[in-house]
């Protein structure tokens, strides 16, 4: 038993700092978000103290508000403590919200499990002029209490020493309800469970009296007997009455441990409250969010920072022989943004590496086909996509700042007003926002939603958000629109993010009125105080994104580049197509007669209505190829053009030579950003969706992306079609709403008839 490693469960409310504590104790690289629902499944890590030689397994449970089974997270946390029997539970409390956090503490105390309270954010409390007496609170609770700061990593060793010590001795459950209105009823119900030798009898007895759904599933006979104990009329009031008793006990006893500066009336509004008056304002909130997105994209993609060149400021191009810095920080078109500077730097380095490697291979007599193969895979494949990595990381950095500062929680709150009318709670917007990063964790995060229909609708629209993998395609096509048609690249990028968001909201509304109709689930959202993001958490997040992107670039994208080279350099009879050169002696793509070209030209008529089908000239078949390969990984979309064009700088010329229209090019971008996501996201959707829903979801993705892309193409190339498309969209929504109202009336009539019967 001495050699057995102690298992410590971390339990607490959302935004109490629990996951930050987990990272500090274990050194794990789990990302710390600043909204409820980040920790969907328990995370596990190891704590080791070199000085005391103490060690323990730490399990990070989902952030929840109570142990009632209203959400999947609550079920996970409750079942782990009851069934997995951790040696000790560390209940993490937000010391700045003591009353609200202590509610769940009173529930955990009813379990027969050793428990330690971690009074987190004590530094914030003290900074405000208040004090919380941990020793006094410990006496009132009857369990050890340790004041800590997980963010500053203070007093964590003492916390773990106390927890390990507590784990070595048992603890009998105690309820604050034992002296209240239902004390006698609870005592009788406990006897029922003790007679059946059920573990944690006090906790189960109280849940039985609440007529708890999970308890009814586990012990139906005992719940029935417990319900008989309650006098008539008490059954319906028990849960509400006991909740009130808990809060009265907390207010009357536990918060007495708090003392210090009293907040005057004029100081009642905190700094966060004052900021929220603006950022969550009914009319200003959404415009502010859009402006924030614009600045993020401007600082990531702009080549004329703050539009100085557009306002008449001229920039010198005299670099005095420093060719390496030429165009790095600025050009005659303006100052480059942070993202462009970093991308230019990486592209300069990778370009120099490949030039050196190519010269070396040529000098040792390497065959041309070998150099071509390596150039396609390494330079046009791996290096070309790595060139987009800096802008992707800059983008994620800014989004992480918004998340960790507490702003994204406000965005979810603001969109709850819209989503509630669409049949979803604001909670659904949290995984949608995660879709801006990656669709896989976003879909997994839908487990925090309450119903199957809400999860299904949310998973379906997550595919419309512009994830990190799609940034490369956006950047490539935005560049073509800028160079060939004079569009603003950063505004194109921003518009794609907004298109995804608007389309998601619109389709959620349609699904709620038709196939996914149900009552709007309740939404409880904790708005954390604004604070400076944790540098360590930002670094972990960015490193995870970089690592994942490089892994894809070195596997899927390299394999895709290899596939393109092989099938574009051999005929259907596997005859190698020799290299050709133009009048200047420059190599030309030798795709004429290749297997790849034949295949793409065969299927390209599918996309003819969208403006990038078989009506294109020259290398237009590459549009079809990029779309097909994009189903594997969206990063491959841009890489396909780079590989076929023979370099990133040649992509705009190649696409321009196809004769594609503005509408066709925008439709191509919209289709690829809203259609079936990558294989990894599809596999995740299959695991998270109810049985039999994947095929309908895939059809939904294909149908929606095709129809939307078609409308986009028509609106840009044939402006007069707006007179047809806009009324048609309005008609679809009106008909869907009328069908919804008719179905609701039928259901209400059926309920009335059933009630009368």
Contacts (Cβ under 8 Å, ≥6 apart) of 297:
395, 490, 491, 493, 494, 497
Q: How many helices (H) and strands (E) does the chain have?
A: 33, 12
- Tokens 């790849």 belong to 596
Query: What would the mean pLDDT of 386-411 be, rounded to a whole number?
Result: 82
How confident is the model at residue 603, as a pLDDT?
87
Mean pLDDT of 49-53: 84
Q: How confident is the model at residue 71 (pLDDT cuts 50, 70, 90)?
A: low
Per-residue pLDDT for 35 more than 70?
no
Taking alpha carbons only, the member of 34, 49, 42 closest to residue 158 is 49
pLDDT at 448 over 70: no
CATH tag, 6-176: 3.40.50.300
Radius of gyration over every alpha carbon of the chain, rounded to an integer in angstroms: 30
Q: What is the pLDDT of residue 1?
A: 39
- Domain residue extents for the chain: 6-176, 177-267, 393-543+690-724, 725-757
pLDDT, one tens digit per residue, over 627-669 is: 888 877 787 788 788 878 777 778 888 888 888 999 999 999 9
| Least confident range of 50-59, 261-270, 707-716 | 261-270
Q: Residue 546 has what pLDDT?
A: 80
DSSP of 117-182? EEEE-HHHHHHTTEEE-HHHHHHHHTS-EEE-BTTTTBSHHHHHHHHHHHHTS------GGGGSTT
Mean pLDDT of 669-682: 87
Mean pLDDT of 265-294: 81
% of the chain exceeding 90 in pLDDT: 30
Residue 135 CB neighbours (<10 A): 10
pLDDT of residue 2: 45
Which H or E run contains 6? Answer: strand 6-12
DSSP, collapsed to helix, strand or coil, labels residue 101 as helix
Q: Which pLDDT score is estimated for 222?
A: 93
CA angle centred on 201, ends 195 and 207, rounded to 5°: 120
What's the confidence (pLDDT) of residue 464? 92
Q: Which of 19-28, 261-270, 284-293, 616-625 has the lowest mean pLDDT?
A: 261-270
What CATH class is the domain 177-267?
mainly alpha
With a cut of 60, say whether residue 345 has pLDDT above it. yes
What is residue 323's predicted lDDT score, i.e. its pLDDT? 56
- Exposed e or buried b for every residue in 675-687, given b needs 16+ CB within 10 A? bbbbebbbebbee
b/e map 295-326, b = 16+ CB within 10 Å: ebbbbbbbbbbeeebeeeeeeeeeeeeeeeee
pLDDT at 698: 93
Give pLDDT, residue 31: 46
Q: Nearest to residue 380, comparing CAs of 177, 568, 519?
A: 568
pLDDT tier, 588 (very low <50, low <70, confident <90, very high otherwise): low
What does the pLDDT look like over 136-173, one tens digit per residue? Answer: 999 999 999 999 998 888 999 999 999 999 999 889 99
Percentage of the chain surpassing pLDDT 70? 89
């Amino acid at each position: 038993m001495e050699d057995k490693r102690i298992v410590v469960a971390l339990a607490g409310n959302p935004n109490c700092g629990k996951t930050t504590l987990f990272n500090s104790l274990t050194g794990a690289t789990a990302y710390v978000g600043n909204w409820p629902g980040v920790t969907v499944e328990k995370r596990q890590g190891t704590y080791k103290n070199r000085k005391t030689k103490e060690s323990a397994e730490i399990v990070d449970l989902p952030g929840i508000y109570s142990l009632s089974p209203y959400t999947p997270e609550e079920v996970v946390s409750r079942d782990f403590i009851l069934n997995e029997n951790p040696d000790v539970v560390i209940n993490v409390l937000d010391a700045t919200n003591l009353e609200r956090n202590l509610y769940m503490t009173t529930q955990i105390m009813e379990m027969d499990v050793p428990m330690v309270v971690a009074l987190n954010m004590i530094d914030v409390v003290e900074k405000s002029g208040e004090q919380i007496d941990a020793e006094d609170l410990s006496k009132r609770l009857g369990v050890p209490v340790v004041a800590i700061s997980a963010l500053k990593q203070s007093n964590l060793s003492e916390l773990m020493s106390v927890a390990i010590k507590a784990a070595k001795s048992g603890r009998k459950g105690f309820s604050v309800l034992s002296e209240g209105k239902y004390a006698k009823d609870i005592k009788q119900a406990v006897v029922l469970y003790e007679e059946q030798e059920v573990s944690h009898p006090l906790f189960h007895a109280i849940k039985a009296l609440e007529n708890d759904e999970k308890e009814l599933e586990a012990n139906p006979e005992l719940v029935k007997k417990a319900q008989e104990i309650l006098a008539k009329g008490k059954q319906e009031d028990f849960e509400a009455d006991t909740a009130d008793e808990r809060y009265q006990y907390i207010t009357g006893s536990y918060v007495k441990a708090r003392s210090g500066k009293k907040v005057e009336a004029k100081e009642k509004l905190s700094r966060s409250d004052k900021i929220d008056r603006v950022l969550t304002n009914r009319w200003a909130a959404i415009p502010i969010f859009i402006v924030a997105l614009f600045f993020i994209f401007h600082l990531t993609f702009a080549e004329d920072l703050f539009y100085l060149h557009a306002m008449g400021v001229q920039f010198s191009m005299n670099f005095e022989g420093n060719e390496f810095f030429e165009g790095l920080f600025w050009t005659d078109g303006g100052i480059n943004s942070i993202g462009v500077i970093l991308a230019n730097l990486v592209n300069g380095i990778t370009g120099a590496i490949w030039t050196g490697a190519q010269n070396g291979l040529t000098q040792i007599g390497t065959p041309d086909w070998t150099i071509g193969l390596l150039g396609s895979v390494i330079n046009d494949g791996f290096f070309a996509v790595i060139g987009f990595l800096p802008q992707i990381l800059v983008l994620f950095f800014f989004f992480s700042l918004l998340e960790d500062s507490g702003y994204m929680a406000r965005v979810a709150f603001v969109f709850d007003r819209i989503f509630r009318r669409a049949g979803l709670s604001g909670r659904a917007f949290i995984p949608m926002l995660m879709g801006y990063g990656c669709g896989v964790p976003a879909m997994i995060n839908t487990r925090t939603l309450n119903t199957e229909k809400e999860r299904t609708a949310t998973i379906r629209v997550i595919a419309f958000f512009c994830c990190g993998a799609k940034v490369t395609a956006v950047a490539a096509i935005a560049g073509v629109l800028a160079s060939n048609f004079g569009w603003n690249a950063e505004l194109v990028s921003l518009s794609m993010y907004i298109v995804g968001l608007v389309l998601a909201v619109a389709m959620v509304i349609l699904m709620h009125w038709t196939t996914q109709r149900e009552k709007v689930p309740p939404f409880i959202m904790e708005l954390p105080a604004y604070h400076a993001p944790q540098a360590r958490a930002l670094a972990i997040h960015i490193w995870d994104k970089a690592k994942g992107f490089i892994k894809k670039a070195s596997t899927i994208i390299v394999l895709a580049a290899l596939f393109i080279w092989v099938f574009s350099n051999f005929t259907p009879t596997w005859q190698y197509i020799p290299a050709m050169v133009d009048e200047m002696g420059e190599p030309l793509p030798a795709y004429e007669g290749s297997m790849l070209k034949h295949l793409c030209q065969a299927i390209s008529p599918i996309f003819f209505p969208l403006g990038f089908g078989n009506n294109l000239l020259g290398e237009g078949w590459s549009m079809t190829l990029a779309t097909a390969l994009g189903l594997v990984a969206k990063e491959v979309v841009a890489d396909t053009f780079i590989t076929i064009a023979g370099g990133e700088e040649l992509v705009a010329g190649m696409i321009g030579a196809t004769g594609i229209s503005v509408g066709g090019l925008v439709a191509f971008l919209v289709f690829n950003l809203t259609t079936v996501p990558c294989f990894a996201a599809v596999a995740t959707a299959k695991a998270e969706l109810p049985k039999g829903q994947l095929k309908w979801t895939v059809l939904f993705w294909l149908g929606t992306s095709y129809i939307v892309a078609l409308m986009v193409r028509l609106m840009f190339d044939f402006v007069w079609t707006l007179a047809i498309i806009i009324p048609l969209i309005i008609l679809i929504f009106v008909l869907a709403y009328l069908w919804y109202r008719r179905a609701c009336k039928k259901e209400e009539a059926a309920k009335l008839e059933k009630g009368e019967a």
